[in-house]
Amino acid sequence: MRPEIPPSLIEEVRAARALVVLTGAGVSKESGIPTFRDALVGLWAKFDPEELATPEAFERDPAMVARWYDERRVKVAECRPNPGHLALADLERRILGQGGRFTLLTQNVDRLHQAAGSRRVVELHGALRVWRCSRCGEEREESGGPFAEYPPRCGCGGARRPGVVWFGEVLPRRAVDEAEAAVRDCDLFLSIGTSALVHPAAGLLHEARGRGASTAEINPERTPASDLVDWRVEGQSGEVLPDLVARAFPDPPPVENGPGRRTHPGRQVPP
């Protein structure tokens, strides 16, 4: 049975001039990526993921922590964007195409939003494929198979760590500034696939609401934000978002025709 989307939410999305979307692990789970709090299996079954995701854990056993994150990096590289990711990329094109502003804030570290075509993405918790030297700070984007050693080493000899935000660490200042600026000026805020538990990201919805923006939640389960939003749609993002975007924007999307020239299929472009 298709999730029910309130007509008033469809109208709000269509009329949005400054739209902010916050996504969490539920969006990536639909691409086969386990959420951070899912039970670990195999070699890692005896570990609590929250105990591995701390600076203290890396200091105690950098090889173990690096290996765990590297296995996640390799597995994530095999995953592909799902219909929810693709719908958000389409929504961005639609909003920008009508002269509006769009910002996608994500707590996910897998970069599936970018793979789906989203361009205005703010990574609040960093990126799994970026690894940073714990000595000199040099960052490098990784691809391909597993590292040859754990932890991987920088040219300066320092141990390299995943470029993600661990428990007890602050979010990247630039990401926070971009998120706060977007929320400050938005007229619609969508919270999608996030538990609304992890701060400071969870507080962004409260900030948007306090500034008068309309708010909506898309999630198969209730969260602490469920009773605060103007609309709640119960369902998977991969089911709800394609339907929401298609109903808000039934016309074909704009087609790129060279620098500064956009039109629609069937509409003639002046020479």
Q: Is 264 a catalytic residue?
A: no
The conformation of residue 221, written as its DSSP 8-state character, comes to S
Residues whose CB falls within 8 Å of the CB of residue 137, separated by 6 or more in sequence, listed in order: none
- For 146-161, give the secondary structure using H, E and C: CCCCCCCECCCCCEEE
Distance CA 224, CA 84 (A): 22
Q: 84 φ, ψ to 5°?
A: -65, -45
Written as six digits, the tokens of 111 are 């970069």
- Which is catalytic among the residues 85, 113, 125, 199? 125
What proportions of the chain, in percent to the nearest 5, are helix, strand and coil?
35, 20, 45
Active site residues: 125
